Amino acid sequence: MPNAYVARFTFNDDPEYWLNLYLDKSSLSDLEWLLSERASEWSMPRSCFPGDIVFFQLAVGALRPINRLLTAVGDTREFGRQVRRLKTLAAIADRYAGCLVACGKVHGPPEASDEVDYYTHWKGRVYASINPIVAFREPLRVTGDNDFRTMSAFAPAGPVTHRMFGSESDLERTVAALKTAGNKLPLWLTSTRIKQAGDDDPRNLLARLRDLKVGFLSEEHLVLHMAEPICTLIADEGLVRQQATVRPDRLQSGGVVDLVIKVDGIAVPVEAKLNISAEHDLRKQVRKYTGPARVGKSERIEHGIVVVIDQSGVYLFVNGEIANGGEPVLERTALTQAALKKLRQTIKHATSQ
């Protein structure tokens, strides 16, 4: 099953970019390119796969650089052609700002590029081919005071970047709204079920996770697509508890740990990080989840073990200190069902000490 992304984009704010771009009659801005439904290379996260879905959302403030440039240039003859093109683009953008513009399907794997092409999507350095692209002739407004304001995938502010649909129901609501607005949608979109934790066959899941080209957008993304599936495979009866409050006996306050599993009946906190070496004070964070402590309202942990999972693998912390010389007890590239069985035994042994 595919992932579903939202790529929110805006316009380049460099006046020289536009004046040079529109010297060529055939050159198109990002928005015009999407509306023309031509296959494209687009900046995408490293975590994307062929077959994934991407929605393109034009940022609310996309018109600002265009209007600034039109004000600065005025109606001078020197830039007459560019001004006419910019005015046309401004009218189109005014209709689509804050809306879903198009959707596409990831056609090829993401590839990193060190080249800076002045005329392409200028923010990212990882690209994937998107083909086909289907433009929405009736734009769907997903910002402002409407039914989509609670969906984090359509955040109107913050960095122009990629986000993910948090649930299949969010995707279904979006597709239904696009259809109601009068858009003709492709079967590959209307029949899509997005990937959620636990959907994968374990063998396929572990093979995907062993591929270091697969990256993660955020800690939430890593929890959903790496930490939680791993925990499901090592936990008693595959049960995983999310977002649990842990209050160590020795501290006045605790913290909310990402996951809690049970291994042979003993509760074990599990924290997810993108990269533990980039954390400012991971030991201080881990101590908030280290026993003896109360978990939730009634459960207790008496041991000092915390499992931490990042993009490199699985680590053990003992009484707030990283074990195994700072190396993963299970490296990501070694993820197999046999290795996870051994990991479960390692955790069981550590919590019984």
Q: Which of 39-48, 167-176, 228-237 has the highest mean pLDDT?
A: 228-237
Q: Say if residue 286 is in the same domain as residue 159.
A: no
Share of the chain above pLDDT 70, in %: 90
**What residues pair up with 247 in beta bridges, in sequence order?**
294
CA-to-CA distance for 296 and 256, rounded, in angstroms? 10
CATH of the domain at 290: 3.90.1570
Domain that holds residue 310: 202-351
Single pTM value for the model: 0.61
Asked if residue 126 belongs to a domain, the reply is yes
Report the mean per-residue pLDDT for the chain: 86
Q: Which of 60-74, 106-120, 160-174 has the highest mean pLDDT?
A: 60-74
State whether residue 24 is helix, strand or coil: coil
* Longest Cα–Cα distance in the chain: 82
Among 140, 157, 190, identify where a domain stops. Answer: 190
Asked if residue 195 belongs to a domain, the reply is no
Asked if residue 196 belongs to a domain, the reply is no
Q: Say if residue 246 is in the same domain as residue 336.
A: yes
Asked if residue 197 belongs to a domain, the reply is no
The more confident residue out of 324 and 200 is 324
Q: Say if residue 163 is in the same domain as residue 207.
A: no
Cβ-Cβ contacts under 8 Å for 71 (sequence gap 6 or more): none
Q: Say if residue 148 is in the same domain as residue 100.
A: yes
The more confident residue out of 205 and 293 is 293
The more confident residue out of 267 and 15 is 267
DSSP conformational letter for 278: G
Q: Say if residue 126 is in the same domain as residue 247.
A: no
Q: For 11-44, what is each residue's pLDDT tens digit?
A: 888 888 888 888 787 888 999 999 999 998 898 8
Residue-level pLDDT at 202: 73
Asked if residue 232 belongs to a domain, the reply is yes
DSSP conformational letter for 23: T
Q: Say if residue 265 is in the same domain as residue 150.
A: no
Asked if residue 170 belongs to a domain, the reply is yes
Of 69-78, 133-142, 225-234, 290-299, the least confident: 69-78
Question: 112 is written with which tokens?
Answer: 């990193």
Indicate the number of domains in the chain: 2
Q: Say if residue 132 is in the same domain as residue 11.
A: yes
Residue-level pLDDT at 96: 95
Residue-level pLDDT at 118: 46
Q: Which residue from 109, 97, 221, 214 is spatially nearest to 164, judged by alpha carbons?
A: 221
Asked if residue 264 belongs to a domain, the reply is yes
Q: Say if residue 223 is in the same domain as residue 330.
A: yes
Q: Say if residue 152 is in the same domain as residue 8.
A: yes
Asked if residue 149 belongs to a domain, the reply is yes
Element (H, E) at 323: none
Cβ-Cβ contacts under 8 Å for 68 (sequence gap 6 or more): 13
Q: Say if residue 35 is in the same domain as residue 177.
A: yes
Question: 231 is written with which tokens?
Answer: 């925990």
Q: Say if residue 174 is in the same domain as residue 215.
A: no
- Is the pLDDT at 130 greater than 60? The verdict is yes
- Is the pLDDT at 198 greater than 50? The verdict is no
Q: For 271-300, what is each residue's pLDDT tens digit?
A: 999 899 888 889 999 999 999 999 988 899
Among 137, 157, 190, identify where a domain stops. Answer: 190
- Is the pLDDT at 247 greater than 80? The verdict is yes
- Is the pLDDT at 214 greater than 50? The verdict is yes
Of 174-178, 293-297, 318-322, the least confident: 293-297
Decide if 152 contacts 138 (C-beta within 8 A): no
Rounded to an integer, the average pLDDT of 94-100 is 94
Among 158, 190, 222, identify where a domain stops. Answer: 190
Residue-level pLDDT at 165: 79
DSSP conformational letter for 290: P
Question: 55 is written with which tokens?
Answer: 């929605």
For residue 92, give Cα distances in angstroms to 31, 85, 138, 332.
9, 11, 12, 46
Q: Say if residue 49 is in the same domain as residue 169.
A: yes
Residue-level pLDDT at 157: 57
CA-to-CA distance for 318 and 306, rounded, in angstroms? 7
